[in-house]
Amino acid sequence: MKLRKFKAESMREALARVKKELGPDALIIATKPVKGPGGKRMLAVTAAVDEGEGKSATDDRSSTEAKLSARADSAAELAEAMLPLRSELRALRSLVRNTRPTKNVNNKALLEEVAELKRMVTSMSRRPKVDLEALEEASTGRTIARKAEGRVRVLIGPTGVGKTTTIAKIAANAALLERKRVHIISLDNHRVGAPAQIKAFAQMMGVPVTLVRHAPTELPAALEQSANAELVLVDTAGRSLRDLRAPRMLEQLINRLPKPEIHLAMAAGTSAFDIDTIIARYAPIGVSRLLFTKVDETADLRELVLTPARHNIPVGYVTRGQKVPEDIQVATRKLLMSMAIEGQEFMEVA
């Protein structure tokens, strides 16, 4: 077994070098973000290849055994790396249990440190194996990210994915940082407290908002009020996937909007099966962009690349956390690939 380490600015470049120097049978066994010259963000890739040649059945078996051995070594390295963390975690737990509250001991700080170490160990233990070549193959030749361009942008999607907070983030960036005239139209008259929430956000940003309670009769007036806006953001009510009438009703409203750009919002931790179900349900409306929220709540971010590649719908935004307007990023191919490959490690470094 021959091991080599490579440094590159992107996974595409790293894979090209691995294949060129070690051949097509090389196996990627580890990746991690590192700092290059001048603090540039780079990727360190460890690859392995069987040094034997030939195509006999015996050699094929040897190659398979070598790959399995490499995977086992990688797992062993991970387990070894976790040993100090586990040891420190046990020591801290023991200290917390055996320490009586005094003025000189901050038990709260100790408990927080224990919780952080536990999170690190759990994250390392459960980190999904990322098939880097599969990500590259799935996304090659496909547009997986595209900046939002429409004047009228509509956010749709299931309940609880953070559409209203995302609207506030987009509005804040446009109004406060880009100095654009922004108008918000809310069609969410189903969720308790939704009108008050969007009005509070809009008031803080100095952005006008129109609440449409009886659509579609009030929608023309709302559009007239937003006629001078450079960006119109339309918030919609989230509905359960069991509500089969919801997409059709939403489609009737959206058809009344002038050239709407439809952003389908989903939580990043949603399974591939549920993502496909959601996209299929909203497909008749005509989805322009995907929008992944809560990327900080899952360690597995592969679907940020696989979903747009699978459905040929680019990602416009990704969001994390509740801060307005900081916790939102315009999606780029480089960003999505980095997040998919490095998962929460990317989130902690970024």
Over the stretch 63-90, which tens digit does the pLDDT of each residue have?
A: 544 444 554 454 455 455 455 555 555 5
End-to-end Cα spacing for the chain = 35
User: What is the 8-class DSSP label of residue 258?
Assistant: S
Q: Which of the following CATH numbers is that of domain 143-349: 3.40.50.300, 1.10.30.50, 3.50.50.60, 3.30.70.1230?
A: 3.40.50.300
Q: Which two tokens stand for residue 258?
A: 């002038």
Query: Which is higher by pLDDT, 11 or 135?
Result: 135
* 135 phi, psi to nearest 5 deg: -65, -45
SS3 208: coil
Distances (CA, A) of 288 to 127, 262, 271, 330: 31, 5, 21, 15
* CA–CA distance, 292 with 263 (Å, rounded to integer): 10
Q: Of 189, 192, 153, 195, nearest to 171 (Cα)?
A: 153
Domain boundary assignment for the chain: 143-349
Q: Which two tokens stand for residue 116?
A: 């952080």
pLDDT tens figures, 160-180: 898 988 998 999 899 888 899
* CA–CA distance, 238 with 256 (Å, rounded to integer): 19
204-210-211 Cα angle (round to 5): 105
Task: Give me the pLDDT at residue 83, please.
Answer: 52
Task: Give me the pLDDT at residue 305, please.
Answer: 94
In this predicted structure, the answer to whether residue 3 has a pLDDT above a threshold of 80 is no
Q: Count of CB atoms within 10 A of residue 205's CB?
A: 20
Taking the model in full, what pTM does it have? 0.62
- Residue 207's contacts (CB-CB under 8 Å, 6 or more residues apart) are 171, 175, 182, 183, 184
